[in-house]
Amino acid sequence: MATLLGLLLLPSSAKQTLGGFPEVSPFVQCGVQGFTRCRWVWKCAPRRKQLTRCYGLRLARRRIRSVSTSVPRLDGRLYGRTAPNLIVVDRFIGCLGGCEGHPTMTRSQLVAAAALLGLANHAYFRRYEPQTAHYPLAALLLQPIALMLTLPDASLTLPNALIASISFLGTLSASIVAYRLSPFHPLAHVPGPLLAKISKLWGVNAVLSSRRHLILKRLHDEYGDIVRIGPNEVSVIHADGIRAVLGSSGFPKGQYYEPWTDPTLPARNLLTLRGDAHANRRRIWNRAMSTASMKDFEAILANRITQLLGRLDEFAEQEEPFDIAAWFSYLTVDFMGDMAFGGGFELLRDGRDSEGIFSILKVGVKAMSILSQVPWLTPSLALLPGSKNATKKIHAFTLSRAKERVRAGPQGHKDLWYHLMDEDGHEKTKPSMPEVLIDGGLTIVAGSDTSSMALNAFMWCILAHPDIYARAQAEVDAVYPEGEGMLSSDRHAELPFLNACFQEALRLYPPVPSGGGRRVPAGDARLVGDTLIPDGTQVFLPHYVIHRSAANFAPAPDSFDPDRWLRAEHAGHVHNAAAFIPFSYGAANCAAKHLAWRELLMTASAVLRRYDVRFAQGGRLPPGGRG
């Protein structure tokens, strides 16, 4: 009777569709012995779409389930509670009560299942951190669909797919945010801005603004020596941090450096190598940068400085303003090309960037700086068309220069190529061509940009302080009264004030202001000051902020004061020379720092000895004005 009652409750349109009991019998006949799955029943029903509009069938389903003895079969026979046909009719009516033509897994159940899947994903990825985004992104996109395909009572429709995806991704995101802000996170004890704790998008935005070093300075002024700047990142300016993080027993390079590699090449450059691989390559670089090798490089540099002076003479004769920053850049690029490959650029000759190298470097360095904030995205983005245009141009140039260098054979002097290729035969195994190529490219990118920035910072600072400019020029004139010997490093020790001016300029405006990231190895958590840095954390030491900390340099840490380097021992002055790290610190510091220092002093001595330089009308002061 319950079955009949259910059918009587149907709207008249449904009764007409059924057309009497004989019309229903085909559905019952589908329920053969052992067949209990409702999802296949509708295949026997040519009128299923009309039947599913009978909204009263939900009530009929509940009443049929209350049958406890026997009900009349539609063909006149009886069956008991174990008869499979009752189950079929029951399931079939339940199906009709759901979405049109689909079985009934309610949307609330689907939402719950997707939410549980999101929580499971967070637990998995927290335990097994992905190094690339290929598979995690694919998994996040496909899992809601896979969920609907595997659950026995769910159906694959666009509304269900959207609901499952929203529930899955929403729960996953909420779980991640809640954990990162919770007291259970390993960095919960480290203060920092809320958005930085939640997402690395905060770091990406800081890089895009080109003010990341200034933002870090403000945060350290607000929160102290150690600040949380990412979900698993901290910025450290504590005096103990330099040795603890960068020293011989410090931390290895972290994921920050991964975007600076090219996965299509069979070798890594010196900047991105770690452990023994770095030590082996660095040994070759150290030999290339030995005192004996410096004389060869000085001869190359002297030729380029002479060429620079010739071009500046033209501006001096006409007394017309010019952009000295651009000419310093031309000098450093030409010199690095000569040093690495025996030639290649002629920017000083052309007076312009005829190769487009600056635009390539600007775009490439900016892109790498952004990707360093989300390094796991790099391999995926590298698959996009046009994503490697800048690096391809640099590689094409280095390859062409390498071919010319090989064809030219031994040079009259020992350039960097000579040492990197181990033409002296010091190594048991000769370096491979890809290793030499990629390090040659690194020399041009890293060496030219940082040296030009240092020269520009120096010139800005002394021009903004005419009294300091006059003292530096007088010292150069006294050491090189006839201008002879200024294109040599032999008398650089007699230029203490000029050295102090460069040290102070690099203190205020380090070429790499935010520093590179190191990663705390598993099981190597340690205290920096009184703060525990847990394993798995990326640690940054921002040079700009460390150099301007009153704990390291006082008084007036934001002022340009070269004399602080000459009176470091005076009472009342704070001068922590160990906190001066424009070339980084430790075994992975700048391999060419001694060459860079000679380049700076030789160029500055030549310019100050030969010219009186002033700001042009309307010329800008450096950031912060006169200090």
Cβ distance 518 to 539 under 8 Å? yes
Query: Do you find a cis peptide bond into 513, omega within 30 degrees of 0?
Result: no
Cβ distance 590 to 584 under 8 Å? yes
Residue 143 CB: number of other CB atoms within 10 A?
19
Token pair in block for residue 503: 């040290």
- Residue matched to tokens 């979405």: 99
| Pairing assessment for the beta strands 538-540 and 531-533 based on DSSP bridges | unpaired
DSSP string, 256-270: GGGGGS-TTSS---G
Burial degree of 114 (CB within 10 A; 0-12, 13-18, 19+):
buried
The 10 Å CB-count burial string (b at 16+, else e) for 75-96 is: eeeeeeeebebbbbbbbbbbbb
First to last CA, the chain: 95
| Pairing assessment for the beta strands 538-540 and 233-236 based on DSSP bridges | parallel
How far is residue 480's CA from residue 499's CA, in Å, rounded to a whole number? 15
Cβ distance 185 to 179 under 8 Å? yes
How far is residue 41's CA from residue 29's CA, in Å, rounded to a whole number? 10
| Residue 30 among known ligand-binding residues | no
User: Which positions ≥6 away from 371 have C-beta within 8 Å?
Assistant: 259, 377, 378, 381
Token pair in block for residue 465: 């302080």
Cβ distance 164 to 147 under 8 Å? yes
| Residue 469, phi then psi, degrees to nearest 5 | -60, -45
Q: Which amino acid does the sequence have at 45?
A: A
- DSSP reduced 3-state for 324: helix
- DSSP reduced 3-state for 517: strand
Q: Which amino acid does the sequence have at 530?
A: D
Q: Which amino acid does the sequence have at 420?
A: L
User: Which positions ≥6 away from 248 have C-beta within 8 Å?
Assistant: 586, 587
DSSP string, 203-269: HHHHHHTT-HHHHHHHHHHHH-SEEEEETTEEEE--HHHHHHHHSTTSPPB-GGGGGGS-TTSS---
Q: Which strands, in side-by-side order, build the sheet including 226-230?
A: 226-230, 233-236, 538-540, 517-519
- What is the sign of the dihedral through the CA atoms of 594, 596, 598 and 604? negative
Residue 409 CB: number of other CB atoms within 10 A?
6
Cα-based distances in Å from 2 to 63, 65, 132:
6, 9, 59
Binding-site residues for heme = 590
Binding-site residues = 590
